[in-house]
């Protein structure tokens, strides 16, 4: 930790000794030029960020990679068992179109391909707590790489690079390698010769709020020499053997949100790509069954010893060390919490400062109740909502939130380095850790949708 303390102190000196207001203006302007903005109330605002990446000691990377690998393989274990009929006490469930499409085998092994893990990481102790997993349709990789290049070109980062060795991960480099790996595995199963330069389609709804994130993926694939097109799910044409977008024959698809295919307003217009997927005539990443890893109750499976026998020793060792106590909210449930048995609802009600309630299915931090941010009456209402007939909520033990300092520029004035709560997001491509970005916010709900800012993560080491 002494190394990180010195590093952060040196960076604060660099920023404060320069012109942070001007550099922040450059950062925001260049991000806006990359179409990195958030639309709030119909008004485009600069994508929220700070004039500082998050620094991690390079010595901690191997531990992060190990835990990420074991969590991802554990998530896949749960999904495979669920698809084979294991009940998991109703914590994992699908119905309708997504359930039907989850049964479609992508035919390549290991279907959790592009995954983002939300984690609280304490660098002083290397403690990690994985709060939830984003498997079905994680986004942000294109924007991250665009932001990363802008950061690396800032004068303050260049000056820091004269004192320290910076390792920064371009997520789309490993994204492309993972896509090629899955394409080759798919070809092996189909017993067809893989192309040296397959043609990719990167897919989302043409009016999606993250369209520019997806377009950055398209640009970077083409820049790397791989023919790649953007496609709305309705743009595909299927002749019973091959898939086309316009005149281009597509070899592999990377999709963003599952909803862009299965919601009623899209479903009838995307049947060509759906039929090709069902008939195993397109390499499709992420496969729909990846969404079996999205449930907020997965940490409940990974933190309850009655499920221990489902996992390998390595997986369970990681889960014991890194997954906080979590349970599915059921009114009549009896549970054990730190060695004591109690009725689950009574435990939650009587210890509100110790827990967080989350909808089992959701994103963006919406619908979450943090006990120590609520009055008892609001907390009681949340419990009633979470335990009502037909409700589907997870309860998770409140985890100590890490804090880091970031330079704040507000209304054209530099306010200095101010402490923010942070949530690091580890990325896994084809089962391996490939990098991270970080969200920082004033509140305990650390999410860009809830007012937080996004910054890249740099792994740092002393200059040799």
pLDDT at residue 451, as a whole number: 56
Of 396, 425, 431, residue with least CA distance to 299: 396
How deeply is 18 buried, as exposed, middle or buried, from its count of CB atoms within 10 A (0-12, 13-18, 19+)? middle
Write out the residue limits of the CATH 3.40.50.1760 domain(s) in the chain: 174-285
pLDDT tens by residue, 200-227:
999 999 999 889 999 999 999 999 999 9
Nearest-angstrom CA–CA distance, 315 and 268: 41
How deeply is 302 buried, as exposed, middle or buried, from its count of CB atoms within 10 A (0-12, 13-18, 19+)? buried
Q: What is the 3-state secondary structure (H, E, C) of 122-141?
A: ECCCCEEEEEEEECCCCCCH
Rounded (5°) CA angle 192-258-36 = 105
How deeply is 404 buried, as exposed, middle or buried, from its count of CB atoms within 10 A (0-12, 13-18, 19+)? buried
pLDDT tens by residue, 409-425:
988 899 999 999 999 99
pLDDT tens by residue, 1-35:
799 999 999 999 999 999 999 999 999 999 988 88
pLDDT at residue 40, as a whole number: 60
- Proportion of the chain above pLDDT 90, given as a percent: 88
pLDDT tens by residue, 27-44:
999 998 888 877 666 677
Nearest-angstrom CA–CA distance, 74 and 293: 10
Nearest-angstrom CA–CA distance, 439 and 424: 6
The class (CATH top level) of 174-285 is alpha beta
Would you state the structure tokens that stand for residue 352, as one six-digit string? 């509100």
The arithmetic mean of pLDDT across residues 289-302, rounded, is 96
Of 272, 451, 250, residue with least CA distance to 364: 451
């Amino acid at each position: 930790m002494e190394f990180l303390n010195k590093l952060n102190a040196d960076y604060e000196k660099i920023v404060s000794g320069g012109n942070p207001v001007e550099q922040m203006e450059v950062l925001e302007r260049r991000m806006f030029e990359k179409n990195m903005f958030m639309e709030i109330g119909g008004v485009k605002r600069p994508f929220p960020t700070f004039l500082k990446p998050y620094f991690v000691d390079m010595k901690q990377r191997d531990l992060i990679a190990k835990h990420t690998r074991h969590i991802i393989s554990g998530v896949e274990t749960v999904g495979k068992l669920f698809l084979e009929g294991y009940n998991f006490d109703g914590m994992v469930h699908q119905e309708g179109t997504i359930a039907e499409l989850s049964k479609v085998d992508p035919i390549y092994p290991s279907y959790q391909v592009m995954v983002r893990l939300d984690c609280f990481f304490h660098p002083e102790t290397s403690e990690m707590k994985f709060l939830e997993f984003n498997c079905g349709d994680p986004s942000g990789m294109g924007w991250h790489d665009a932001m990363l290049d802008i950061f690396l070109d800032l004068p303050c980062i260049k000056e820091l690079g004269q004192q320290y060795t910076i390792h920064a991960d371009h997520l789309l480099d490993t994204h492309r390698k993972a896509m090629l790996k899955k394409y080759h595995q798919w070809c092996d199963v189909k017993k067809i010769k893989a192309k040296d330069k397959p043609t990719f389609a990167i897919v989302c709804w043409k009016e999606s709020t993250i369209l520019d994130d997806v377009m950055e993926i398209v640009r970077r694939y083409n820049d790397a020499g791989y023919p790649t097109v953007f496609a709305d799910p309705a743009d595909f044409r299927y002749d019973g053997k091959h898939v086309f977008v316009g005149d281009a024959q597509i070899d592999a698809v990377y999709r963003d949100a599952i909803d862009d295919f299965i919601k009623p307003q899209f479903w009838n217009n995307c049947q060509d790509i759906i039929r090709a997927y069902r008939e195993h005539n397109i390499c499709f990443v992420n496969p729909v069954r990846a969404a079996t890893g999205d449930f907020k109750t997965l940490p409940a499976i990974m933190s309850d010893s009655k499920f221990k026998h489902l996992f390998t020793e390595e997986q369970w060792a990681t889960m014991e060390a890194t997954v906080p106590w979590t349970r599915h909210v059921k009114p009549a449930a009896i549970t054990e919490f730190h060695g004591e048995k109690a009725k689950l609802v009574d435990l939650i009600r009587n210890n509100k400062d110790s827990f967080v309630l989350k909808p089992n299915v959701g994103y963006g931090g919406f619908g979450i109740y943090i006990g120590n941010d609520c009055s008892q009456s609001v907390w009681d209402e949340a419990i009633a909502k979470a335990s009502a007939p037909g409700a589907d909520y997870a309860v998770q033990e409140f985890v100590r939130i890490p804090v880091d300092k970031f330079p704040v520029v507000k209304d054209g004035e530099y306010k200095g380095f101010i402490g923010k709560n942070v949530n690091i997001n580890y990325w896994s491509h084809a089962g391996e850790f490939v990098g991270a970005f970080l969200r920082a916010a004033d509140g305990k709900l650390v999410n860009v949708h809830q007012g937080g800012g996004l910054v890249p993560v740099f792994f740092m080491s002393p200059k040799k």
